[in-house]
């Protein structure tokens, strides 16, 4: 049987990227809604119920509506929106975050694709808290920069209209209440809400997430080499090979910390920097907001779910 895949929202930023990634695939059939019917609930219901896997690339409310339109027991869902990421009954679609997660995704009926920002932070915090090297109550701050495609069609049109006149660096999330905080806290297994302060740059695609850590108040301060080894051990044991740990380096600067370096791939590279004498560390994840941050992760999750069909 050839699995039928329906991308609800296939004409948006994430949907188009998924379509492009699936274009050459012969093992699946992408069923496609006519563009003029893409917001017609009755037509969407027909496609949603005909699909083996529906991938929702929609605003949150429309994603909730799509789920409510599914009347059968067979359509499995990957939701790229924020709507279901901490909802009961949904599996978080970050396959590498622990050893059991890819099996959970493989067998899930409902998978919530992660937000782009939390993935970089969870990639560090979950294994390091799990290994007991960082405490769950560590006061975490997150900063970073994303290409403007992270803001979807509206932000893309805005930046492309302004061109070189668009701001080269625009901090946002200034109410300190970014929509990704619940999933970040939940899946990193943090006791408190992190302080997250992202930025958009005047480039289309790619991102980096940075966690500067002050560790001097801990009873035992983990040296940078221990943080690095724990991450290398964790990701070395994960089959997908998507998340890589860069060699521990003591350098002033490196061209590898480039938000665009992994564009059009699913790769995420984790960098650990440390000043042990000061009990400080800096963790930096580099990845593509449209790759591992969105569409690439959705296709990775779809492939896992196809194995479970």
Ligand X SMILES: CC(=O)N[C@@H](CCC(=O)OP(=O)(O)O)C(=O)O
How many residues comprise the chain? Answer: 309
Query: Rule CB under 6 A: which of 237-276 touch ligand X?
Result: none
Question: Would you count residue 139 as binding ligand X (CB under 6 A)?
Answer: no
Please tell me which residue in 48, 54, 116, 243 is annotated as part of the active site.
116
Question: Would you count residue 294 as binding ligand NDP (CB under 6 A)?
Answer: yes
The CB-side HSE value for 130 (13 A sphere, CA atoms) comes to: 15
Is residue 107 within 8 Å of residue 132, measured between CB atoms? no
Rounded CA-CA distance 141/210 in Å is 8
Q: 215-223: long-range contacts (C-beta < 8 A, 24 or more apart)?
A: 215/134, 215/279, 215/280, 215/281, 216/278, 216/279, 216/280, 218/135, 218/279, 221/276, 221/279, 222/128, 222/133, 222/134, 223/274, 223/276
Binding partner of 200, given ligand X, ligand NDP, none, CB within 5-8 angstroms per partner class: ligand X
Binding partner of 58, given ligand NDP, ligand X, none, CB within 5-8 angstroms per partner class: ligand NDP
Shortest reach from residue 222's CB to ligand NDP, in Å? 31
In this structure, the number of other CB atoms found within 10 A of the CB of residue 95 comes to: 25
Query: Rule CB under 6 A: which of 98-127 touch ligand NDP?
Result: 115-116
**Cβ-closest position to ligand NDP:** 12
Q: Which is nearer to ligand X, 134 or 188 (CB)?
A: 188
- In the chain, the largest separation of any two C-alpha atoms, in whole Å, equals 63
Count residues contacting ligand X (CB under 6 A)?
12
b/e map of 259-271 (b: 16 or more CB within 10 Å)? bbbbbeebbbbbb
In this structure, the number of other CB atoms found within 10 A of the CB of residue 243 comes to: 24
Question: What number of helices (H) and strands (E) belong to the chain?
Answer: 9, 14
Site string for ligand X, 272-301 (x = CB under 6 A): ---------------------x--------
C-alpha triplet 140, 135, 237: angle, nearest 5°: 95
Site string for ligand X, 63-102 (x = CB under 6 A): -----------------xxx--------------------
Question: Would you count residue 289 as binding ligand NDP (CB under 6 A)?
Answer: yes
Exposed / middle / buried, residue 193 (Cβ in 10 Å: 0-12, 13-18, 19+): middle
Shortest reach from residue 16's CB to ligand NDP, in Å? 8
In the residue annotation, 116 being an active-site residue is answered as yes
Q: Which range touches ligand X (CB under 6 A), out of 21-29, 37-45, 145-153, 212-220?
A: 145-153
Is residue 146 within 8 Å of residue 200, measured between CB atoms? yes
Q: Which is nearer to ligand NDP, 46 or 276 (CB)?
A: 46
Selected from 115, 120, 127, 296, the binder of ligand X by CB under 6 A is 115
Residues that are catalytic: 116
Binding site for ligand NDP (CB under 6 A): 9, 11-15, 38-39, 57-60, 62, 80-82, 115-116, 149-150, 152-153, 289-290, 293-294
Binding site for ligand X (CB under 6 A): 80-82, 115-116, 146, 150-151, 180, 198, 200, 293
């Amino acid at each position: 049987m050839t699995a039928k895949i329906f991308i609800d929202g296939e004409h948006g930023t994430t949907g188009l990227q998924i379509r492009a990634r699936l274009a050459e695939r012969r093992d699946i059939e992408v069923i496609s809604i006519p563009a003029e019917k893409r917001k017609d609930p009755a037509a969407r219901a027909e496609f949603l119920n005909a699909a083996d896997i529906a991938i929702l690339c929609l605003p949150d409310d429309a994603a909730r509506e799509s789920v409510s339109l599914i009347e059968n027991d067979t359509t499995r869902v990957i939701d790229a929106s924020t709507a279901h990421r901490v909802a009961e009954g949904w599996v978080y679609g970050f396959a590498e975050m622990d050893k059991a997660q890819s099996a959970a995704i493989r067998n899930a009926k409902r998978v919530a694709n992660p937000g782009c920002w939390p993935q970089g932070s969870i990639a560090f915090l979950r294994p390091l808290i799990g290994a007991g090297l960082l405490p769950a109550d560590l006061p975490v701050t997150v900063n970073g920069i994303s290409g403007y495609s992270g803001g979807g069609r509206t932000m893309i049109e805005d930046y492309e209209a302004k061109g070189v006149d668009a701001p080269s660096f625009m901090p946002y999330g200034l109410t300190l209440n970014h929509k990704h905080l619940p999933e970040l806290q939940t899946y990193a297994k943090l006791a408190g809400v992190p302080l997250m302060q992202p930025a958009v740059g005047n480039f289309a695609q790619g991102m980096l997430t940075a966690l500067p850590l002050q560790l001097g108040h801990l009873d035992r301060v983990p040296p940078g080499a221990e943080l690095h080894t724990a991450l290398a051990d964790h990701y070395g044991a994960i089959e997908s090979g998507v998340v890589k740990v860069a060699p521990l380096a003591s350098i002033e600067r490196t061209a590898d910390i480039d938000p665009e370096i992994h564009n059009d791939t699913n790769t995420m590279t984790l960098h650990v920097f440390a000043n042990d004498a000061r009990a400080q560390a800096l963790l930096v994840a580099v990845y593509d907001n449209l790759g591992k941050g969105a569409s690439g992760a959705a296709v990775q999750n779809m492939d896992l779910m196809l194995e479970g069909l």
